[in-house]
Structure 1
Amino acid sequence: MRLIHKYIGLVCASILFFTSCESDVLDNNPYYMGDSADQIFSDPVKIAAASVGLYDALQNSEFLGGRAQIYVDARGIDLNPPTFFGNLSTFQPTSSDATIEDAWQGAYRTIYECNLFLKGIEGAKAASVITESEYKTYSAEAKFIRGVVYFYTLNFWGQMYAKESENLGVPLVLQAFDGGSAFTEAIKITRSTIDDCYKQIISDFEYAEQNLSDTRDDVYEGRATATSSAAQAMLCRTYLYMKDNAKAIAYANKLDGKYSLESTTITNLTNPAASSEVIFFIAMNISDNPNTNNALGQHYGKDARADITVNSDYLNLFSNTDKRKTDVVVQKGGNWYCNKYQNGTKDWAPIIRYAEILLNKAEALVKSSNTVDAGAVSLLNQVHGRSDSGVTYSTSDFANAQALLDEILKERRRELAFEGHGSFDLFRNGKGIPAGRGSASTPALEYPNNYFALPIPNSDIEKAGANVLKQNKGY
Structure 2
Amino acid sequence: MSCKKFLDVEPKDFLPPSYYYQTEEQLLYSLAGVYDPLGSLDLYGRHYISRVGIEADEGFYNTSAVVSGPQVYNFTSSDTYVSGFWRELYMGINRANTLLANVDNNLKVNEAIRLQIRGEALFLRGYYYFLLAQNFGAVPLVLQPASSPDDTDIARSPLKEVYEQVLSDMKSAEALVAPIKTFGFGGRVNKSAVRGVLSRVCLYMAGYPLKDLSKYQEASAWAKKVIDDGEAGHMLNPDYTQIFINYAQDKYDIKESIFEVEFWGNGADGFSETGSVGAWIGIYSSNNDIIGNAFGFLNATAKLYRSFEASDVRRDCVVATYIYSATGTKTYYTSTTEASLYTRRVGKYRREWELVFPKSNNATPTNFPLLRFADVLLMYAEAENEVHNGPTTAAVDALNLVRARAHASLFTGANSLTNKTDFFNALVDERSRELCFEALRKPDLIRWGLFIPTMKGTETKMAKDIPGSFYALAYKNVAEKHLLYPIPSRELSLNPALNQNPNW
The TM-score range, normalised by the shorter chain, is 0.7 to 0.9
Offset of residue 290 of structure 1: 5.7
- Report the equivalent of 1:161: none
- Indicate if the aligned counterparts of 1:74 and 1:81 stay in contact, CA closer than 8 A: no
Over alpha carbons, which structure has the higher Rg?
Answer: 2
Distance in 2 (alpha carbons) for counterparts of 1:370 and 1:411: 19
Cα gap change, 1:48 to 1:463, in 2 (>3 Å): closer
Structure 2 residue aligned with 1:145: 124
Q: AA paired with 2:217?
A: A
Q: Which amino acid aligns with 2:258?
A: I
- Name the amino acid aligned to 2:380: K
Residue in 2 aligned with 1:9?
Answer: none
Query: Is the counterpart of residue 393 in structure 1 residue 447 in structure 2?
Result: no
Instruction: Call closer, same or farther: CA 1:441–1:275 in 2, change over 3 Å.
Output: closer
Cα separation, 1, equivalents of 2:251 and 2:502: 40
- Whether contact under 8 Å (2:35, 2:92) holds in the other structure is no
Q: In 2, distance between residues paired with 1:236 and 1:301?
A: 29
Q: Secondary structure at the match of 1:375?
A: helix
Which deviations, in whole Å up to 9, do the C-alpha atoms of 1:203-247 show, x marking residues without a partner?
A: 111111011122243412xx1111122111111111111121111
What amino acid is the match of 2:302?
S
Task: Output one character per residue of 1:254-284: Cα deviation in whole Å (capped at 9) or x when no partner.
Answer: 1123311110103343445234211111111
Deviation at 1:300, TM superposition (A): 1.1
Match of 1:130 in 2: 109
Cα shift at 1:197: 0.8
2-side partners of 1:64 and 1:441: how far apart? 21
Which of 323, 326, 332 is the matching residue for 2:323?
332
Residue 345 of structure 1 and its aligned partner are, at CA, apart by: 1.3
The answer on 1:458 being equivalent to 2:486 is no
1:252 matched residue in structure 2:
223
Instruction: Give the match's secondary structure for 2:280.
Output: helix
Q: 2:349 aligns with which of 338, 341, 347?
A: 341
Q: Percent identity?
A: 25
Contact 1:58 1:65 in 2 (8 A): yes
- For 1:295-333, what per-residue CA distance to the aligned partner results, in whole angstroms no more than 9, with x for missing partners? 222101222011221122110111111111111221328
Q: 1:372 to 1:307 in 2, by over 3 A?
A: same
Q: Is 1:45 aligned to 2:14, yes or no?
A: no
Distance in 2 separating the partners of 1:440 and 1:393: 37
Cα shift at 1:34: 9.2
Change (3 A) 1:57 1:347: same
Q: Distance in 2 between matches of 1:73 and 1:470?
A: 23
1:50-88 CA-to-partner distances (Å, cap 9, x unmatched) read 323432343222113343233565321111235559331
Task: Identify the match of residue 295 of structure 1 among 276, 279, 289.
Answer: 276
Instruction: Give the root-mean-square deviation of aligned CA atoms.
Output: 2.6
How big is the shift at 1:104? 1.1
| Alignment partners' CA distance in 1, 2:391 and 2:101 | 50
Matched-pair contact (CA < 8 Å) for 1:245–1:364: yes
TM-aligned CA distance change 1:34 to 1:289, over 3 Å: farther
Which amino acid in the other structure matches residue 209 of structure 1?
E
Name 1:109's counterpart in structure 2. 91
Q: Tell me how far apart the structure 2 counterparts of residues 231 and 33 of structure 1 sit (CA, whole Å).
A: 38
Q: Is the 8 A contact 1:67 1:296 kept in 2?
A: no
* Pair 1:229 & 2:237 matched: no
Conserved? CA contact 2:198–2:222, under 8 Å:
yes
Structure 1 residue 353 displacement after superposition: 1.1
- In 2, Cα distance between the equivalents of 1:264 and 1:33? 54
Residue equivalent to 1:74: 54
Residues 1:98 and 2:80 are matched in the alignment = yes
> CA separation of 1:441/1:345 partners in 2, compared to 1, >3 Å: closer, same or farther?
closer
Task: Tell me if structure 1 keeps the 8 A contact 2:77–2:488.
Answer: yes
For the residue of structure 2 that corresponds to 1:224, the secondary structure is coil
What is the TM-score with the length of structure 1 in the denominator?
0.81
List per-residue Cα deviations over 1:430-449 (Å, max 9, x = no partner). 10222416428954857xx2
Counterpart CA distance in 1 for 2:310 and 2:174 is 41
- Asked if the contact 2:202/2:216 (under 8 Å) is kept, the reply is yes
**1:207 alignment partner, one of 172, 175, 184:** 172
Give the number of equivalent residue pairs: 418
The 1:336–1:35 alpha-carbon spacing in structure 2 relative to 1, beyond 3 Å, is farther
Q: Which residue matches 1:154?
A: 133
Match of 2:144 in 1: 175
Cα distance between partner residues in 2 of 1:198 and 1:245: 15
Q: Flag the 1:155–1:374 CA change in 2: closer, same or farther, 3 A.
A: same
- TM-score, length-normalised on structure 2? 0.77
Distance 1:357 1:419, change over 3 A: same
The code of the aligned residue for 1:109 comes to M
Task: Tell me the distance in 2 between the aligned counterparts of 1:315 and 1:117.
Answer: 46
- Give the superposition deviation at 1:93: 2.2
The 1:88–1:280 alpha-carbon spacing in structure 2 relative to 1, beyond 3 Å, is: same
Q: 2:306 aligns with which of 300, 312, 316?
A: 316
Deviation at 1:49, TM superposition (A): 2.9
Which residue matches 2:444?
425
In structure 2, the residue matched to 1:267 is 244
8 A contact 2:195–2:225 mirrored in 1: yes
Letter in 1 for 2:120: E
Q: Work out the CA distance in 1 between the residues paired with 2:46 and 2:403.
A: 26
Q: How far is 1:33 from its partner?
A: 11
Unaligned runs of 5+ residues in structure 2 are: 1-11, 207-214, 286-293, 325-339, 355-362, 463-470
